[in-house]
Amino acid sequence: MSLPALDRLATAQARLVTALSHGDIAEIEDASRALAREVDQVRNIAVWHATPELKARATGAVRLAEGARLRLGYLADHGRRRLQMLLGLSGRSAAGYGRDGRIRLPRG
């Protein structure tokens, strides 16, 4: 049945958000792998029967995914700001981005 799969997916998503909030790298990696496994399980369900309960659980899973996405964006921005602050304290100019989208530290 698909409802338990959505429940496991939601639990894995919540675990990842919690791990991101605590900043524990090992737990973030474990939670990410667990979430990937649950996403694969949901993808492998061949037939979904739309019921109000299923729609509610799917909506909840989407909200959790959005929360994780926002948390990642916040953490990435926080990291960039800290890098800029450290560069400023060391007398170096701000970091820029290369064509590949990676941060390029100034020389010097």
pLDDT score for 17: 87
pLDDT score for 34: 95
CA–centroid distance for 31 within its chain: 10
pLDDT exceeds cutoff 70 at 94: no
Rounded to whole angstroms, how far apart are CA atoms 88 and 7?
46
Tens digits of per-residue pLDDT, 32-90? Answer: 999 999 989 888 887 777 788 888 888 888 888 888 888 888 888 888 888 778 877 77
pLDDT score for 31: 93
Rounded to whole angstroms, how far apart are CA atoms 23 and 17?
10
pTM: predicted TM-score of the whole model, two decimal places: 0.65
